Structure 1
Amino acid sequence: MNIKLIAIGKTDSKTLELLIKTYQTRLGFYINFSMEIIPDIKHSKNLSETQQKQKEGELILSKTTSTDAVILLDENGKQMDSIGFSNDLQKHMNSGVKQLVFVIGGPYGFSKDVYEKADGKLSLSKMTFSHQMIRLFFIEQLYRGFTILRNEPYHHR
């Protein structure tokens, strides 16, 4: 199985980029992981929230296929602990899905079309984080999930 993270907008912080890269490298020992960054919409100040979500949604959907399992990182998604997340990863791997795609939306969330395509929603916290920081938090949790599945000491129970 492949795992892909799609995110809107670039990361401005070199420190965050370095940490994200560190966990991406670590993930490579467990799974084929890729991250695809969709550039911020140009002239978004001239668009309504709905128009911006629609444009971002079209770009997000263009990066997925009909056979992908798509999970949105969404504040109203299912919350779980790290062990529950690792179990969820195992279920996806056992299901035979070829590519599991996680998506971090833009500042206003997702379009109706993206919600309709999604196979699920996951919330990392009830708190709000910047879209740049959530990338790091998510990739770290993905790495943690695989260390849990392998019974490795990274996650202390």
Structure 2
Amino acid sequence: MLQIRFICVGKLKEKFYKDAAGEYLKRLSAYCKTELDELPESRLGDRPSPAEIDAALKAEADGILTRLPAGAAAVALCVEGEERDSAGMAALLQKYAANGISKICFVIGGSCGLHRTIKERADVRLSMSRMTFPHHLARIMLLEQVYRAFKIAEGGKYHK
């Protein structure tokens, strides 16, 4: 069975985000083994310098790298990533499965994004859209799209 780990910087605080994440994780359990790994977001002042932001992102990256399992495909969500439609996401998951890759890690950074070392380490850089979304909402959107990808692969009615 495919194992998918979602490595996320920042904890969900709002009940509606927690409820949505819980619902999609429950739905995904029929298709794969999931794990949600939350790291604390680095604290920055109101007007951090570029050096302070880089140091915070590096600290978060160090934590992310320790959580990437050996042999896992890493998919980093970042603005410079490739946009895929839902069928493209399904094709990505199917490609990994067909190539014998049983572990996939999706990585979502905090409010300042991801450090370049994570983007360079990633097998795939994925962009949700050219629009900007809060990282907590991006997590819910990703969970939904992974669920949709499984429904597409099985030919279910969920995807229209």
* Alignment TM class, shorter chain as reference: over 0.9
Amino acid at match of 2:41: D
In structure 1, what is the Cα distance between the partners aligned to 2:16 and 2:40?
20
Q: Give a deviation string over 1:3-35, Cα, whole Å, max 9, x none.
A: 111000111210111011001000000111111
- 2:91 is aligned with 1:90: no
**Alignment pair present for 1:55 and 2:59:** yes
Offset of residue 38 of structure 1? 0.5
Write the letter of the residue equivalent to 2:87.
Answer: I
Instruction: After TM superposition, list the pairs within 5 Å mapping 1:45-124 onto structure 2.
Output: 45=45, 48-124=52-128
Is this contact kept in 1: 2:7–2:39, CA < 8 A?
Answer: yes
Q: How big is the shift at 1:117?
A: 1.4
Corresponding residue of 1:11: 12
Aligned amino acid, residue 63 of structure 1: R
Point out where structure 2 has 5 or more consecutive residues left out of the alignment. Answer: none
Q: By how many angstroms is 1:113 displaced?
A: 1.9
Tell me what 2:136 maps to: 132
Aligned residues: 155
Q: How far is 1:108 from its partner? A: 1.9
Partner amino acid for 2:152? I
Structure 2 match to 1:44: 44
Name the residue aligned to 1:25. Answer: 26
Q: 1:143 is aligned with what amino acid? A: Y
User: Secondary structure at the residue paired with 1:44?
Assistant: coil
Provide, for residues 66-124 of structure 1, a one-character-per-residue CA deviation record: whole Å limited to 9, x for no partner.
31110101111111111111111100111111310000012222223212211110011
* Alpha-carbon displacement from aligned partner over 1:40-89 (angstroms, at most 9, x marks no partner): 22x43387011001000000001013311101011111111111111111
Match of 1:61, SS state, is helix
- 1:151 shift after superposition: 0.5
Distance 1:126 1:112 in 2: 19
**Percent identity, aligned pairs only?**
31
The CA RMSD over aligned residues, in Å, is: 1.4
Dislocated runs of 4+, deviation >2 Å: 43-47
